[in-house]
């Protein structure tokens, strides 16, 4: 009976090629969308945590304000002197780098490029794990005097100098000329997707004097000598800054010290939310695919009910008719599911390469979407048939 019914099911699929094709297509689109979105999201999350791991587990970031990110405008910035205080009063520290950022256009001959200028010190290269590919970092005299010298990233070099060696050339930033003394080793995209090589680094005083016009420091990076000491350093820094910023005993901090774990949680949390969002969007497409299938099935319900009537009239048993429809539904939705998985795998591998994130095969989501698609097929293919197969043959034949 199974073999014969399989034959009948396959014949029915062949008979209704357009309907079969649309059913499969609905499932393919839904399954492929869900798997692609979720897999890419997982890859993005993975690449974020990889990069954070690469940042080192001994980095503390200090920002004014209660929260990390936007909304910190209310609290006062740090001062030059805070850097000195931290360096002098706290042990187990390897590097303390002030950070001031300012967007500006860099010009070299006829070319210009809008970039972010960072004012800091040599500690910045150390704390941020930057390597000078050619040229040199700042001298003590340049830092102290706020000389117009800069170290540029690979992207800025590419935009202004092409393949030429920039060291020794002068670029113009706003109204002043600045000598390029070093080139940073390329690092590619950051965890958040921005280009880390799109950077110009100058001594802090140069940026304060010539670009921002004040002595504020937006952020402080502290590299701790031993990652085991990170909590202790964090406490000491917090206490020191509360004192320096005159925060009363019962008041909350108006700055925030982020350790690597928190940074990582913040960033991966963001991508995880993004993954969930993408997954939800994709799930909707799976649902839409399902509704499409339902429509196809409903449109054909009259023809199929009469077909069931014919089959019953010539002596088919109810269970034979049901089995045929079940096989049809399962074959079509499994086919759609498999094609969807294959398509998603191909698309995900390609897109992951394009986006520079790892391809992480997620068996769970593949299985889940496959089962879901099969369930949709069975739901919309089988249950309408069950109603028809329970009718008296003549009722099914008369169906209009």
Partner 1 sequence: MTGAAALIRLSAISKTYGSGQAAFQALKGIDLSVAAGEFVAIMGPSGSGKSTAMNILGCLDTPTTGRYEFQGVAVEGMTRNQRALLRRHYLGFVFQGFNLLARTTALENVELPLIYRGDPAGSRHQAARAALEQVGLKGWEHHSPNELSGGQQQRVAIARAIVTRPAVLLADEPTGNLDSRNSREIMDLIAALNRDLGITVLMVTHEPDMAAYASRVVHFVDGLVESDRHNGGHA
Residues at the site binding partner 1, with contacts judged by CB under 8 A:
1, 4, 7-8, 11, 15-16, 303, 306-307, 309-318, 320, 392-394, 397
Least distance to partner 1, CB of residue 315, Å: 3
Task: Report the 3 state secondary structure along 229-284.
Answer: HHHHHHHHHHHHHHHHCCCCCCCCCCEEEECHHHHHHHHHHHHHHHHHHHHHHHHH
Q: Name the residue nearer to partner 1 (CB basis): 116 or 397.
A: 397
Complete DSSP assignment for 140-153: HHHHHHT-SEEEE-
**Residue 216 CA, distance from chain mean position:** 32
Tokens of 39: 């897999």
Least distance to partner 1, CB of residue 359, Å: 43
Tokens of 354: 């394009």
Least distance to partner 1, CB of residue 11, Å: 7
Q: Name the residue nearer to partner 1 (CB basis): 225 or 306.
A: 306
Q: Name the residue nearer to partner 1 (CB basis): 355 or 397.
A: 397
Least distance to partner 1, CB of residue 31, Å: 28
Q: Name the residue nearer to partner 1 (CB basis): 257 or 327.
A: 327
Least distance to partner 1, CB of residue 300, Å: 11
Selection from 112, 135, 130 nearest residue 120 by Cα: 130
Q: Name the residue nearer to partner 1 (CB basis): 289 or 381.
A: 381
- In terms of phi and psi (left: phi > 0; alpha: psi -120 to 50; beta: otherwise), the region of 174 is left
Pairing between β-strand 176-184 and β-strand 149-152 as defined by DSSP bridges: parallel
CA distance 167 to 134: 8
Least distance to partner 1, CB of residue 325, Å: 14
Q: Note whether 61 and 219 are within 8 A (CB).
A: yes
CA distance 341 to 272: 22
Least distance to partner 1, CB of residue 386, Å: 14
Measured N-to-C along each axis, helices 2-15 and 318-355 cross at an angle, to the nearest 10 degrees, of 60
Least distance to partner 1, CB of residue 383, Å: 19
CA distance 150 to 201: 5
Q: Name the residue nearer to partner 1 (CB basis): 168 or 315.
A: 315
Least distance to partner 1, CB of residue 310, Å: 5
Alpha-helical runs (H) found in the chain:
2-15, 17-55, 80-89, 122-127, 140-145, 154-161, 204-207, 230-244, 260-299, 301-313, 318-355, 363-389, 393-398
Least distance to partner 1, CB of residue 317, Å: 5
Q: Name the residue nearer to partner 1 (CB basis): 347 or 391.
A: 391
Burial of residue 390, with CB atoms counted within 10 A of its CB: 0-12 exposed, 13-18 middle, 19 or more buried: middle
Q: Name the residue nearer to partner 1 (CB basis): 209 or 306.
A: 306
Q: Name the residue nearer to partner 1 (CB basis): 8 or 278.
A: 8
Q: Name the residue nearer to partner 1 (CB basis): 371 or 394.
A: 394
Tokens of 48: 């974020």
């Amino acid at each position: 009976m199974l073999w014969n019914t399989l034959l009948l099911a396959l014949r029915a699929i062949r008979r209704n090629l357009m309907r079969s094709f649309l059913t499969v297509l609905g499932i393919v689109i839904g399954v492929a969308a869900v798997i692609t979105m979720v897999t890419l999201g997982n890859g993005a999350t993975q690449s974020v945590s990889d990069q954070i791991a690469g940042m080192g587990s001994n980095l503390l970031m200090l920002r004014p304000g209660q929260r990390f990110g936007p909304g910190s405008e209310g609290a006062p910035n740090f001062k030059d002197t805070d850097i000195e205080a931290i360096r002098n009063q706290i042990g187990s520290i390897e590097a303390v780098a002030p950070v001031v950022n300012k967007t500006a256009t860099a010009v070299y001959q006829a070319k210009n490029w809008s970039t972010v200028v960072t004012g800091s010190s040599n500690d910045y290269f150390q704390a941020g794990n930057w390597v000078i590919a050619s040229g040199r970092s700042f001298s003590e005299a340049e830092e102290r005097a706020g000389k117009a010298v800069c170290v540029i990233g690979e992207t800025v070099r590419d935009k202004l100098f092409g393949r030429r060696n920039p060291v020794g050339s002068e670029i113009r930033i706003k109204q002043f000329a600045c000598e390029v003394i070093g080139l940073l080793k390329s690092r590619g995209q950051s965890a958040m997707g921005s280009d880390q090589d799109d950077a110009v680094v100058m001594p802090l005083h140069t940026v304060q004097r010539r670009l921002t016009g004040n002595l504020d420091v937006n952020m402080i990076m502290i590299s701790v000598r031993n990652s085991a000491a990170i909590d202790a350093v964090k406490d000491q820094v917090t206490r020191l800054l509360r004192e320096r910023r005159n925060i009363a005993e019962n008041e909350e901090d108006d700055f925030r010290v982020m350790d690597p774990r928190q940074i990582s949680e913040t960033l991966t949390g963001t991508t995880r939310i993004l993954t969930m969002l993408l997954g939800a969007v994709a799930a909707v497409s799976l649902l839409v695919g399902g509704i499409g299938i339902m429509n196809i099935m409903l449109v054909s319900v009259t023809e199929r009910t009469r077909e069931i009537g014919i089959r019953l009239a010539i002596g088919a048993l109810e269970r034979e008719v049901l089995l045929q429809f079940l096989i049809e539904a399962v074959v079509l939705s499994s086919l759609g599911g498999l094609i969807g998985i294959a398509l998603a795998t191909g698309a995900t591998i390609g897109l992951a390469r394009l986006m520079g994130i790892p391809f992480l095969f997620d068996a769970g989501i593949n299985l889940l979407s496959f089962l879901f698609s099969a369930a949709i097929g069975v739901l919309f293919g089988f249950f309408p048939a069950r109603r028809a197969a329970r009718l008296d043959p003549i009722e099914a034949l008369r169906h209009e």
